[in-house]
Amino acid sequence: MGRPLKTFLFLCFVLHNSFGFSQKSWTLDECIAYALEHNLGQQNQTYNEAIGKENWRQSKRDLIPQIGVGSPSYAVNYGRTIDPITNTIVDTKYGSGNGSLSSSIVLFETFKKWNTLAFQKIQFETSKQATEQYKYDLAFKIMNLFNDVLFNEGALSIVTEQQAINLLYLKLIDSQVKLGMKAKADLYDIEATVSTDELNVLQANNRLKESKLALTQEMNLPQNDIELLAPLENQSINESLLGTNAESLFNNAQKFLPALQIGALDLMAAKKNLAITRSSFFPKLTFNTGINTGYSPNRLDASGNEMEFWEQIKTNTNKYIVLSLYIPIFGNGRNWSNTKIAKINIQKADVDLKQKEQLVYKEIQKLIQKNEALFAEEKLNSKKVELKELALTIAQKKFKNGLISIYDLQVANNEFIGAKIDQLQMRIQFNIQKKTLDFYNGDFILPSTIQITNN
């Protein structure tokens, strides 16, 4: 095989792989899974969760006694001073050193550290729920952007199809004008319609590009174009969603909905914070123990000679045990003020939780009402599409027989296009409605790349 042929085959292989990658079709689950792994906001939220976890771990370590080592030090003094080891006045240059080891533990503080531990655990659980809520918010944002692309693809398909039909009419009328069967006014009308079609196709194509760009940016996908694997005919109406009970749906949502879990955790954290604040009113019992020693060249033995270094370290050793009790008597009213604020925060957290529950319940009610309204509207619109399509077919036959003008034909055609776009939009909305109802019912599972790969 010659070198030019090998080079040609290699280039074909590279171009084939590049083309294959660019033509990858994405499902909704793949888009969501990719966004959950690459979205920068989601990555930042995981860091907040990691910080909450470390704060919780540190609150556990705070229960362990503190042990400190006084680094061995050596000091050189000049002039007249008091030797701290011999407690004598020294007039000459001398050096001295010391070191210590100490430990401290709070024996009683009205369970402040235990309450702090519980508080930090609640904060960690809150950060986990916040991360979960962000995932759901991101998933629904991707879903809306995904369906925007689907809608704009459908709209572009409709206006492109209409453009092709009008181009055929342009050829037909142009030939009829040349044969004297039509007036030039009809030709001008169809030319204006074709120009309008070109603008509609251009605008629809731009809207499609914008929606694709918005989707890829939210996914943090390093490309501006994306092909979706979701045929529009699959966006069908689901009658099983009718008759959903708001009360039962809300009861299911209360069990897992991250926003409501965060509200309940905030209330628990406020109560723990009150317990922590109240501990400042009670006595604090602390236990301290330690050992220290030192060295000085001025320390002499019984013979008047300088005492050996290690002998001094042993002789100068001092051990101590301290049990201290601190009783708060007057704190300028700060403790009372902090306690009142902590109680108010409990009431505020309780109201916030009720408000969140109320908002969720209202949202569910609106969702059910909208679902029923869309179902009724879609039935009427489906009938409308059938009638408008029949009216357009009749208008086309009349136009060919010269019974109506091109203007009347375009009116019938525009009404049919409008009905088809309305139907497309309703079907897209139904798809979003179904996912949202599944979410509140606990049936919406966040996809992952591992699950998609395994499937």
- The total of other beta-carbon atoms located within 10 Å of residue 242's CB is 12
CA 313 to chain centre: 61
Q: Tens of pLDDT along 392-426?
A: 889 888 877 878 877 788 888 888 888 888 888 88
184/175 Cα distance (integer angstroms): 11
Helices (H) and strands (E) in the chain, counts: 11, 8
Tokens representing residue 334 in the block: 């700060």
For residues 183 and 116, state if they share a domain. Answer: yes
Same domain, yes or no: 260 and 189: yes
- The answer on 160 and 308 residing in a single domain is no
Residue 304 has pLDDT above 70, yes or no: no
Whether 12 has a pLDDT exceeding 60, the answer reads no
Q: In terms of domains, do 374 and 435 share one? A: yes
| Confidence at residue 284, expressed as pLDDT on a 0 to 100 scale | 83
Q: What is the mean pLDDT of residues 285-302?
A: 75
The per-residue pLDDT of the chain, averaged, comes to: 80
**How buried is residue 142: exposed, middle or buried, by Cβ count under 10 Å (0-12/13-18/19+)?**
buried
- Of 15-24, 320-329, 345-354, 374-383, which range is least confident? 15-24
Q: Are residues 150 and 89 in the same domain?
A: no
Q: How confident is the model at residue 193 (pLDDT cuts 50, 70, 90)?
A: confident
Neighbour tally for 273: CB within 10 Å: 21
Task: Report residue 158: phi and psi, to 5°.
Answer: -65, -45
The residue from 294, 310, 327 where one domain ends is 327
Tell me, what's the pLDDT at 7? 39
* Any domain includes 309: yes
Residues 385, 420 contacting (CB under 8 angstroms): yes
Banded model confidence at residue 350, pLDDT cuts 50, 70, 90: very high
- Say if residue 100 is in the same domain as residue 128: no
**Least confident among 89-93, 135-139, 342-346:** 89-93
The percentage of the chain sitting over the pLDDT mark of 70, rounded to a whole number, equals: 81
Q: What is the mean pLDDT of residues 22-44?
A: 86
Q: What pLDDT is attached to residue 454? A: 58
**Residue 392 within any structural domain of the chain:** yes
State mean pLDDT over 190-219.
91
Phi, psi dihedral angles at 303 (to 5 degrees): -90, 0
Tokens of 8: 């040609």
Q: Of 299, 327, 355, which residue sits at a domain end?
A: 327
The dihedrals phi and psi of 449, each to the nearest 5 degrees, come to -65, -30
Task: Say if 20 falls within a structural domain.
Answer: no
Q: What is the 8-class DSSP label of residue 304?
A: S
User: Where is 323: in which H helix or E strand?
Assistant: strand 318-326
Mean pLDDT over 136-160 rounds to: 90
Q: Which two tokens stand for residue 15?
A: 């171009």
Same domain, 193 and 264: yes
Residue 152 lies in a domain: yes
- Residue 167, domain CATH: 1.20.1600.10
pLDDT: which is higher, 12 or 175? 175
Q: Strand pairing partners for 101? A: 69, 291
Asked whether residue 354 is domain-assigned, the answer is: yes
- At which residue do the structure tokens 């407690």 appear? 87
Q: How confident is the model at residue 51 (pLDDT cuts 50, 70, 90)?
A: very high
156 and 166, same structural domain?
yes
Boundary (domain end) residue, out of 327, 348, 383: 327
The count of structural domains within the chain is: 2
* 195, part of any domain: yes
Categorize the per-residue pLDDT at 34 as very low, low, confident or very high, splitting at 50, 70 and 90: very high
**431 or 74, which is more confident?**
431
Are residues 93 and 170 located together in one domain of the fold? no
Distance of alpha carbon 322 from alpha carbon 291, whole angstroms:
12
Looking at residue 380, its pLDDT comes to 85
Nearest residue to 425 (alpha-carbon basis) of 395, 385, 454 = 385
172 CB contacts (<8 Å, ≥6 apart)? none
CA 234, CA 238: separation in Å to the nearest integer?
Answer: 11
Within a domain: 296: yes
- Whether residues 217 and 120 share a domain: the answer is yes
As a whole number, mean pLDDT of residues 225-246 equals 64
The answer to whether 146 touches 228, Cβ cutoff 8 Å, is yes
99 in the same domain as 31 = no
Q: Which residue has the higher pLDDT, 455 or 219?
A: 219
pLDDT computed for residue 218 by the predictor: 92
pLDDT at 41 > cutoff 60: yes
Is residue 438 over pLDDT 60? yes
Instruction: Output 101 or 92, whichever has higher pLDDT.
Output: 101
- Please tell me which of 33-47, 237-251, 318-332 the model is most confident about, judged by mean pLDDT: 33-47
Residue with the larger pLDDT of the pair 350 and 374: 350
Range of the domain at 413: 27-64+109-282+332-449
Is the same domain home to 302 and 442? Answer: no
Output the pLDDT for position 64.
79
Pairwise pLDDT comparison (426 vs 260), residue with the higher score = 260
**Domain assignment present for 272:** yes
* pLDDT higher than 50, residue 9: no
Q: How high is the pLDDT of residue 450? A: 61
Q: What is the pLDDT of residues 66-99, one digit of tens each?
A: 776 665 665 565 555 565 555 666 655 555 566 7
Whether pLDDT at 56 is above 60: yes
